[in-house]
Structure 1
Amino acid sequence: MPGQEQADCGHKGCEERLRGELAALRETLTGNPPAAYRAPAGEADRARHRWLTGHQAALPVAQLLTAALHALAAAPEEAAGRLITWAVALYDVDSVLSLYSGSCPPALYGSLVRPPAMAAHPALSGEWARDHAPVPQALRAAQDRHRAAPARDQLTRAVKDNLRVRMAVARRLVPEGAASLLQHTGRCPGHEPTEAEQDLYDVHFQVQRRPVCRSVCRAQLVGLLGRCVADIGAYGLGPVPDGAPERFGREALARLVAVAVCEGPPAFASQIPQPRAGRARIRP
């Protein structure tokens, strides 16, 4: 059941899959990514690849972020600083993934990326993702618990920068005055997405959900971020849109790799709930 903690299954195949993804990431960092990590050379195919891969990678990142924020809300003051640092790293990776997903030229977005989303549902939105939905409430709980934490300003900055990135990407991709898929969800603000809408989001982004063990969950994260790293290393991230912090362009690869190789700082990793049943499984 979703919400029930999922331990390591102990199957050698799952552990080998994780080791294989980590090895592939290491090869990518030497400039020799495996074939499965390489992005399409054509601009149009790469635009589709980035839109799909970036959104898929954001799902396990959101799962980790929710878990980190819940851990922060329950943590004593002395543990807050390290937990905040991890949450900030995850927010920043989500910001990089937003830039990556929406890095195609506006003309390609309008002709290739947006029409399938509109065909799926005119109001298809990132708010429909099951994995993103718990983040705002978890953030409020964490902020309420640690109002005076010295590192709290870092978290506030990361949250604001994440919103700046999303708005900047939307402004760049959508012509002035057009209704952005990121901004119009077809409901009043504050209303949760329906189960049918969440299912539609999964179908559009090729996500299957079933219980997976911790090793498989992490292997998926490493593999997805590794594909982003290989793509950016070969073709660049592209210009950072006006209004988004420039640091995400300069530090994109470093931020992706840091999260890919680490489940969480060792000092508090045990406090963070581990991958649970019902996690997303991304189609290869």
Structure 2
Amino acid sequence: MTAVAPAPTGVAAPALVLPMPGEPLPAECRREDCEERLRRALAALRETLAGHPPTALRPPADEVSRVRYRWLIGHHAAFGVWQSLARVLHALTAASEAAVGSLTAWAAALYDTYSVLFLYAGSCTPELYAAMLRPHMTAAHPAFSGGWSRDHASVLAALRAARDQHSPARIAPLTRAVKDNRRVHMAVAGTLVPGGASLLQQSGRHPGHGPTEDEQALYDDYFHVQRQPLCRVAHWAQLVRVLGQCTADIAGHGLGLAPEGCPERFTRDALELLTAPALAGEPPLQIHRPPKGRKA
């Protein structure tokens, strides 16, 4: 089991284990407990949705600690979703006509999950963000930026490829989810940083200039991410576990009102959108149907 250590956010949590983007997730590995870990993670998620979250999934009780907790755990969940989303988008790019519909539904569901996670990670007040989170990032690097994430960059590249391959009509649900995600991003950013200037912009760096390898490594270190090979089932078990933590927190403490400009469905249906892919019970590329319970 991965050792628990304090992340730079001040939260003690297991490191998130991810392969480098683009590395294959083998169907099998040398560990014998991956299937059991997935079974336990899904059972804990279902218990949480039934109103009985296991102790291991419960968030800190006080608001200030939950700000740091949500920032770290929300990002951990987003990184796992991004890796799964990039793989689904690559599969969509290469898909036969018969598979386009199901893969588009999966990609849209994962984008919606990411939108809820963005709301979750950034659900604190502007005052707490300015006092607690922004200084931590500035201390790590004056130009600290979400654009340094290896995993999100891989999603953007895969999305461009899928759009180039398929007509807008064929992937309309995905397009809607992407547009809604951008609305969420703008709404949260506008609430947390009313002036609109990111650390990257304040540092004088142009957003179009890509990050260096050192900056990407620093981003991983900040969010306590370890890069090493991982099998498909282990990746999914880890993601379901972290989504269970987010679910327990939202179920107990809520997300608050949707920021201005954010589609209301992401707060109204937060738990459904957050957990729909996980409750399908299988990693996305092992199925040929949209997640159960998802609406067209």
TM-score by length of 1: 0.88
Kindly report the root-mean-square deviation, in angstroms, between the aligned alpha carbons of the 2 structures: 2.0
Matched with 1:39 is 59
Q: Supply the distance in 2 between the matched residues of 1:213 and 1:184 (Cα, whole angstroms).
A: 40
Pick closer, same or farther for the CA change 1:34–1:182 going to 2, 3 Å. Answer: farther
Single out whichever of 244-253 and 4-13 deviates more from structure 2. 4-13
Match of 1:137 among 126, 151, 157: 157
Q: Supply the distance in 2 between the matched residues of 1:36 and 1:101 (Cα, whole angstroms).
A: 19
Matched with 1:239 is 257
- Cα pair 2:82 2:152 within 8 Å, conserved: yes
- Cα pair 2:137 2:144 within 8 Å, conserved: yes
Q: Residues 237-278 of structure 1, C-alpha deviation per residue, up to 9 Å, x if partnerless?
A: 111100111110111100111122232272169xxxxxxxxx
Matched with 2:139 is 119
Matched, 1:168 2:168: no
Q: Residues 139-159 of structure 1, C-alpha deviation per residue, up to 9 Å, x if partnerless?
A: 111111111543x22221111
| 1:11 shift after superposition | 3.1
Matched with 1:221 is 239
How many residues in Structure 1 have an aligned counterpart in Structure 2? Answer: 267
Matched, 1:205 2:223: yes
- Cα pair 2:93 2:162 within 8 Å, conserved: yes
Pick closer, same or farther for the CA change 1:169–1:182 going to 2, 3 Å. Answer: farther
TM-score by length of 2: 0.84
- Cα pair 1:70 1:141 within 8 Å, conserved: yes
Single out whichever of 26-35 and 56-65 deviates more from structure 2. 26-35
Q: What amino acid sits opposite 2:235 in the alignment?
A: C
Pick closer, same or farther for the CA change 1:184–1:68 going to 2, 3 Å. Answer: farther
Single out whichever of 136-145 and 177-186 deviates more from structure 2. 177-186
- Cα pair 1:77 1:146 within 8 Å, conserved: no
Pick closer, same or farther for the CA change 1:15–1:185 going to 2, 3 Å. Answer: farther
Pick closer, same or farther for the CA change 1:74–1:113 going to 2, 3 Å. Answer: same
How many percent identity over aligned positions? 58
Aligned to 1:133, the other structure's residue is in SS state: helix
Matched with 1:90 is 110
Unaligned runs of 5+ in 2: 1-18, 291-296
Q: What amino acid sits opposite 1:99 in the alignment?
A: L
Q: What amino acid sits opposite 1:46 in the alignment?
A: R
Matched, 1:14 2:24: no
| 1:170 shift after superposition | 0.7
